[in-house]
């Protein structure tokens, strides 16, 4: 049998015709939240980021990402939200979410022990993919008191999933911070805690009684997020920079939380903002062009024309 004949015996792929897409239905399918956008924490149902954005759209809530970033140890994001005009909001809220990779990994180990996980068996199916089987992985306690998985394939699968979380950790902090802000502005304080985030949030309104405290807390959060951005999440360097700035301004505070007045907080924030601006290079002086047609002596006709002008 020839090569051409052998190839013709294999199933040939059918050419599928493209179908028209109903953009209206597609938009509704993408933007309409479902029950899958809810999650359970401490036996309570919580709205996810997609539902929170839909609620924000209905309630005319605006959000803005102040700063975000990631480094070798953590990802972080600072989000501000408000109702009304941005320069004079009726109510506003801010949230800083930090996800530390070590905490994510430890939580994944606890989840695997509590709920089981899909563990590769070491065998491959007819398509060459590793077969998996759900089960409770065997574990032991490490020197720091936290459980450690013992099975090699369980460790492989856990680290594979963990690297995926690290890859999208920055996006995760954005969604969580935005969600926190929206729920706080809607008065739906979320007491759920996934164990994967460190959240510092403030809510302020136009009520005179609490306006100063709210503005003070907002400035503290801005300073924290700004320092983390400058030093790529390094808390030690962020603290050292804050101490240096506070000392140069004669402000007695070791941490942003110890700032006593709005004036001090503004001074510290403005000073740190100045340090972020790159130094502008001095403009280079253009060399004088030695062109005899330009710099040479005037002709009699040119002198007569200039005298006439």
> Could you read off the pLDDT tens digit of each residue along the chain, which spans 309 residues?
444 444 444 455 555 566 777 777 777 776 676 766 776 666 677 777 778 888 788 788 899 999 999 999 999 999 999 988 888 888 888 999 999 999 999 999 999 999 889 888 878 888 888 788 888 999 999 888 889 999 888 898 899 999 999 999 999 999 899 999 988 888 776 554 443 444 445 555 443 444 456 567 777 777 887 887 787 777 788 888 888 888 888 888 888 777 877 778 888 888 888 776 544 444 444 444 444 444 445 556 655 555 555
Q: Please state, in angstroms and rounded to a whole number, the distance separating the CA atoms of residues 1 and 10.
A: 14
Instruction: Give the pLDDT confidence score for residue 140 in this predicted structure.
Output: 92
Q: Provide the token pair at 141.
A: 């306690």
**Global confidence as pTM:** 0.54
Q: Provide the token pair at 225.
A: 């997020």
* 89 phi and psi angles, rounded to 5 deg: -70, 150
Contacts of the segment 156-160: beta carbons below 8 A, 24+ positions apart: 156/120, 157/117, 157/118, 157/119, 157/120, 157/132, 158/105, 158/108, 158/109, 158/112, 158/117
Q: Provide the token pair at 54.
A: 């839909």
Q: Where are the domains of the chain?
A: 36-202, 207-276
Q: Provide the token pair at 251.
A: 């402000």
Q: Please state, in angstroms and rounded to a whole number, the distance separating the CA atoms of residues 75 and 70.
A: 4
Q: Provide the token pair at 67.
A: 């700063």
């Amino acid at each position: 049998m020839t090569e051409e004949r052998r190839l013709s015996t294999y199933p040939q792929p059918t050419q599928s015709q493209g179908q028209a897409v109903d953009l209206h239905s597609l938009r509704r399918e993408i933007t309409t939240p479902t029950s899958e956008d809810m999650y359970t924490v401490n036996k309570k149902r919580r709205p996810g980021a997609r539902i929170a954005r839909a609620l924000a759209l209905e309630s005319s809530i605006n959000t803005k990402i102040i700063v975000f970033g990631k480094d070798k140890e953590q990802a972080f994001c600072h989000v501000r939200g408000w109702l009304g005009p941005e320069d004079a909001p009726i109510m506003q809220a801010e949230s800083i979410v930090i996800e530390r990779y070590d905490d994510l990994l430890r939580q994944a180990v606890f989840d695997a022990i509590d709920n089981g996980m899909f563990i590769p068996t070491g065998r491959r199916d007819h398509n060459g993919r590793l077969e998996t089987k759900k089960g409770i992985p065997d574990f032991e306690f490490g020197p720091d008191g936290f459980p450690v998985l013992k099975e090699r394939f369980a460790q492989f699968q856990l680290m594979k999933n963990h690297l995926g979380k690290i890859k999208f950790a920055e996006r995760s902090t954005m969604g969580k911070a935005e969600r926190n802000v929206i729920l706080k502005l809607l008065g739906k304080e979320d007491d759920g805690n996934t164990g994967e985030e460190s959240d510092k949030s403030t809510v302020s309104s136009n009520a005179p009684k609490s306006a100063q405290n709210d503005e003070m807390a907002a400035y503290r959060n801005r300073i924290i997020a700004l320092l983390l951005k400058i030093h790529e999440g390094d808390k030690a360097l962020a603290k050292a920079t804050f101490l240096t700035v506070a000392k140069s301004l004669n402000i007695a505070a070791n941490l942003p939380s110890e700032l006593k007045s709005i004036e001090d907080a503004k001074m510290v924030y403005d000073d740190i903002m100045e340090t972020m601006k790159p130094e502008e290079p001095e403009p280079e002086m253009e060399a004088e062009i030695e062109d005899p047609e330009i710099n040479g002596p005037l002709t009699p006709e040119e002198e007569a024309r200039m005298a006439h002008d």
